[in-house]
C-alpha cells in the first residue's frame, strides 16, 4: 500500500487509511485486480509480461543508483529497518563506489587546482 506523505494535501478525497491509490469508495485497491489490469495493459502495449511488484524493486534500485539517501529509500518502501533496504539493494553500491572514486579523481586532478 502507498501512504500519503505528510506534505501531500488531503481534502474531501482523503480516506481513513490515508492511502494515495484507492477504489472510488476510498477503500484499498485489490491486489489481484491491479495485477490483472496491469497484465492487460502490458499485453495491449506489446510489452513483455512481468510482475507488478518488479517495478517496486526497479524504483528502489534507481533511487539508490541516483544517490537518494538510504533512509529516504527505506521510508518510501515502507521498510522498518535500514538493514533490510541496504541488504536488498546492495548490488547497486559497487557502482556508487566507482562513481565516488571518479568524482574524487576529477576533484584532485583538475588542472585549475593549484597545489
**In terms of domains, do 58 and 103 share one?**
yes
The pLDDT tens digits for 37-54 are 999 999 999 999 999 888
96 contacts 65 by C-beta, under 8 angstroms: yes
Q: Per the domain annotation, does 114 fall within a domain? A: no
9, 32, 49: which is the final residue of a domain? 49
Domain assignment present for residue 115? The answer is: no
45 with 81, same domain? no
The answer to whether residues 3 and 41 belong to one domain is yes
At 47 the pLDDT is 92
Listed residue (64, 78, 84, 59) closest to 3, CA to CA: 78
64 found inside a domain: yes
67 & 84 share domain: yes
Mean pLDDT by 10 residues, the chain (115 residues): 50 69 88 92 94 89 89 92 88 78 86 61
Q: Which residues pair with 19 in a beta bridge?
A: 3
Q: What is the pLDDT of residue 42?
A: 94
Q: What angle do CA 56, 59, 62 make, to 5 degrees?
A: 150
Rounded CA-CA distance 47/50 in Å is 9
**Residue 67 domain-assigned (yes or no):** yes
Residues 57 and 37 in one domain: no
Nine-digit cell string for 103: 568524482
Its domain, for residue 29, covers 1-49
Domain membership of residue 73 (yes or no) is: yes
Amino acid at each position: 500500500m502507498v501512504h500519503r506523505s505528510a506534505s501531500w494535501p488531503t481534502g474531501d478525497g482523503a480516506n481513513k487509511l490515508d492511502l494515495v491509490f484507492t477504489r472510488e469508495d476510498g477503500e484499498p485497491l485489490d491486489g489481484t485486480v491491479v495485477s490483472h489490469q496491469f497484465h492487460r495493459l502490458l499485453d495491449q502495449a506489446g510489452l513483455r509480461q512481468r510482475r507488478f511488484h518488479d517495478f517496486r524493486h526497479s524504483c528502489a534500485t534507481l533511487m539508490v543508483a541516483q544517490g537518494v539517501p538510504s533512509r529516504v529509500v527505506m521510508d518510501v518502501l515502507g521498510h522498518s529497518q535500514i538493514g533490510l533496504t541496504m541488504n536488498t539493494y546492495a548490488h547497486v553500491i559497487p557502482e556508487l563506489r566507482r562513481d565516488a572514486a571518479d568524482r574524487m579523481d576529477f576533484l584532485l586532478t583538475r588542472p585549475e587546482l593549484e597545489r
